[in-house]
């Protein structure tokens, strides 16, 4: 089972960081969303060792639980 490293925060500061073990990337995102308090505008970086992390922005959250993430920092073609 892969170990995903994550960091979440806003305005350039990391509020929480850690690891989650999950069978898939989408399951890792779901587990992180349930465990970590987030608010609209927060950024999430998540990935596995040896690769650059994927970056997401929280679009909206309900009671501190992120409900929607969108990819962040994508370059236009």
- What's the distance, CA 52 to chain centroid? 13
The 10s digit of each residue's pLDDT in 6-30 is 999 987 789 999 999 999 999 999 8
In 3D space, the residue among 17, 16, 19 whose CA is nearest the CA of residue 4 turns out to be 19
> What is the pTM assigned to this prediction?
0.81
pLDDT bucket at 50, cuts 50 / 70 / 90: very high
* Mean model confidence pLDDT for the chain: 87
Average pLDDT over every residue of 16-45? 90
Residue-range domain boundaries for the chain: 3-71
Query: In the prediction, which pLDDT does 52 show?
Result: 92
Query: In the prediction, which pLDDT does 76 show?
Result: 60
């Amino acid at each position: 089972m892969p170990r995903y490293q994550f960091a979440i925060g806003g305005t350039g500061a990391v509020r929480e960081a850690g690891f989650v073990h999950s069978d898939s990337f989408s399951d890792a995102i779901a587990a992180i969303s349930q465990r970590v308090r987030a608010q609209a505008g927060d950024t999430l970086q998540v990935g596995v060792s040896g690769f650059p992390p994927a970056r997401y922005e929280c679009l909206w959250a309900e009671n501190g639980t992120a409900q929607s993430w969108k990819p962040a920092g994508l370059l236009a073609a």
